[in-house]
Structure 1
Amino acid sequence: MTCRNAVSIMALGSLLLCILGCKAAPGPQQIGVFASTSHGLLELTAYGKDDEAEDVYSFRNLSVIPKTSRVEEFYVNMPGSIITETKIFWLASLGKNFDEHNQIPLDANIEAGKGSLYRINVQGLKAKKGGFVLLILPMPLGVSDRAYVLQIPA
């Protein structure tokens, strides 16, 4: 291999890594909740809302719950949400309601990004199988808190 070919291959490899890295996180202008999964970035649109009881979330109106084989981390870009109070739970099964009072959230690390974009890393989440990941996102006063759900089959 000539020096020129080696440089070309390195440049192409660097470009490919940059392109792949750019698709791993949503842009700071992209509003929503996203999961970095084994198949790339997935926007989470299925969520339960808190009932009138505090910290109880209803999933009765969910028609589809997204599935993935692995969750690596979450990205949240919801201006006005109370990101510091975000909680993530692991559940073996999901009923019509979820009451977080007797549940222990997973350890999560929240990192600020550009604008109102935050990255949430959860210890041990990559190894979880056969259950549901629940991301509780407190919203501003007057807006129902949300519980985003994602299924990880066994």
Structure 2
Amino acid sequence: MSEPGGVSTGGAIGLVAGLLALIGGPAAFGKAGAWLADRADRRRQSRADGNREWEAKLKAWEAELDERAAASLRQCEEQCAELRAVVEKMRFAMVLILPEVERFAPSSPLLQKASSLLAEILPVAIKPAPAPPERPESISA
């Protein structure tokens, strides 16, 4: 069968073999074979070099991604620790403040809600502070 250009594969091989026979006889066939083998070796070597280069780039890219992921994780852990510290300080402040405020408004629905929220968060029961004693008449006057 002929190729789209009009030359068949067998015809092209025959033409090349004929030219080689005219140019140098059997020595030309050996040189042509050596050239083809060398060309195939160079092509394989070029592909292998390209693959090694690509693998090196891929490993560098993966190492960069791993480092970025590790840095991001460290940053998240640091921020989480900072936020936990802030939340703990706020909880402690609420535990200190809430009983004092309840002394002045023990029936406030907002204070009761705050107390119930703190009771859910903290395992410690928060008891309202006792009311201050009444002032004796002798002091108030």
Interval of TM-score (by shorter of Structure 1 and Structure 2): under 0.3
By relative contact order (CA 8 Å, sep 6+), the higher-ranking structure is 1
Question: Which has the higher Rg, Structure 1 or Structure 2?
Answer: 2
TM-score (norm 1): 0.26
Relative to its length, the structure with more strand (as a share) is: 1
Instruction: With the length of structure 2 as denominator, give the TM-score of the two structures.
Output: 0.28
